[in-house]
Amino acid sequence: LLNRRYLQERMNEEVNRCKRYDSPMSFLMIDIDDFKSYNDLNGHQAGDQALQITAHCLKVALRSADVACRYGGEEFGILLPHTPLSEASVIAERMRQRVAETVYPHGKSQPIGGVTLSIGISTFHKNVDTPDRMIAAADRALYNAKRKGKNRIELHQERVPKERGR
């Protein structure tokens, strides 16, 4: 997989393209659920192997224009150019299912009985219009997926301010 720096460069390019051509773009922040316990129980070599298997599952689900990177630890970032939120949700679900259906060495020792993913999705729009804002929005959605029980996908929901005086 590509590195975080390359992802940042590509996101800058795509944000400029979105602004210029009013085209959609989405971003996925993906985390392997309970990865620390997997590593602690099975050792770092098994953890590295699980990361490689997961990276392969993610890459297989992507299209040629999509950009996947290891974001850090057990997190992955995926840029989906020209992709509205509805399409990004379908891609994310395909990834989540592929990982859940893949047999991992020692996967049965996981709390859910297998390796699973939590995924947060953000999309480019007027209030989420920079790479940092897209990443932060996807990260908040990922946090919500974890908080709601893991092995799920959450979309960044823009908070609409309440009108004052009404």
- N- to C-terminal Cα distance for the chain? 51
Catalytic residue among 9, 13, 74, 163: 74
CA-CA distance, 36 to 44, in Å (whole number)? 10
CA-CA distance, 31 to 75, in Å (whole number)? 5
Cβ–Cβ under 8 Å, residues 93 and 85: no
Rounded to 10°, the helix 85-101/44-60 angle is 140
Q: Check if 74 is active-site.
A: yes
Residues acting as catalytic residues: 74
